[in-house]
């Protein structure tokens, strides 16, 4: 069945691309996925080096430098310098950033809800478990080239609970 799993993964990525676009247009906020991805990572990690943030977000370091600049301009993150190493700058999400993230998720889910409103409970359950599986795997990929600096996992947006 590796052939089958291969197809499922291909389909998964395809449908994800489509769903992402549907979501983007449904909740037509002006902000980009990268912003929310970054904030979401920040929320789950706490203060973190820029390079590690880039790795966890799966973007290059220069890209993350840009993103962090934008986010800082909006007041959604702040940067603090490391007393022990003048090269590093740690990034932290601000309360405003958390609020913006929560607001976006709410708006987004509200926009998508109509399309999923009539889902049978069993399908809802399937989706929930699929999301859990995917989150596990994505987290696993982060462990592979895991940097040593990161602390313990923290909260997730939806639940406020410790992730994993």
Residues at the site binding a second copy, with contacts judged by CB under 8 A: 1-2, 4-26, 33, 36-37, 40, 57-59, 105-106, 108-110, 112-113, 115-117, 119, 121, 123-124, 126-131, 133-135, 137-138, 140-141, 156-159
The site partner of 94 among DNA, a second copy, none (C-beta below 5 to 8 Å per kind) is: none
Q: Which residues contact 72 (CB under 8 A, 6 or more apart)?
A: 78, 79
Parallel, antiparallel, or unpaired for β 48-49 and 77-82? Answer: unpaired
Residue with tokens 């089958």: 4
Q: In terms of CB distance, is 63 or 94 closer to DNA?
A: 63
CB 48 within 8 A of CB 42: yes
- Name the nearest CA neighbour of 130 among 43, 19, 21: 19
d(CA 140, CA 129): 17
The site partner of 61 among a second copy, DNA, none (C-beta below 5 to 8 Å per kind) is: DNA
Binding residues (CB under 7 A) for DNA: these are: 21, 25, 31-35, 49-52, 58-63, 65-68, 70, 85-90
Q: In terms of CB distance, is 1 or 86 closer to DNA?
A: 86
């Amino acid at each position: 069945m590796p052939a089958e799993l291969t197809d499922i993964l291909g389909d998964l990525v395809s449908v994800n691309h489509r769903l992402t676009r549907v979501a983007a247009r449904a909740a037509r906020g002006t902000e980009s996925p990268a912003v929310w991805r970054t904030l979401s990572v920040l929320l789950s990690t706490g203060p973190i080096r820029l390079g590690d943030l880039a790795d966890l977000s799966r973007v290059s370091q220069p890209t993350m430098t840009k993103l962090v600049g934008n986010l800082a301009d909006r007041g959604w993150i702040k940067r603090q310098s490391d007393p022990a190493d003048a090269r590093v700058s740690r990034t932290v999400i601000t309360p405003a950033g958390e609020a913006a993230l929560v607001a976006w998720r709410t708006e987004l889910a509200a926009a998508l809800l109509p399309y999923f409103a009539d889902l049978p409970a069993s399908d809802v359950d399937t989706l929930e478990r699929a999301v859990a599986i995917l989150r596990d795997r994505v987290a696993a990929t982060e462990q592979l080239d895991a940097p040593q600096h990161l602390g313990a996992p923290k909260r997730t947006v939806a639940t406020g609970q410790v992730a994993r």
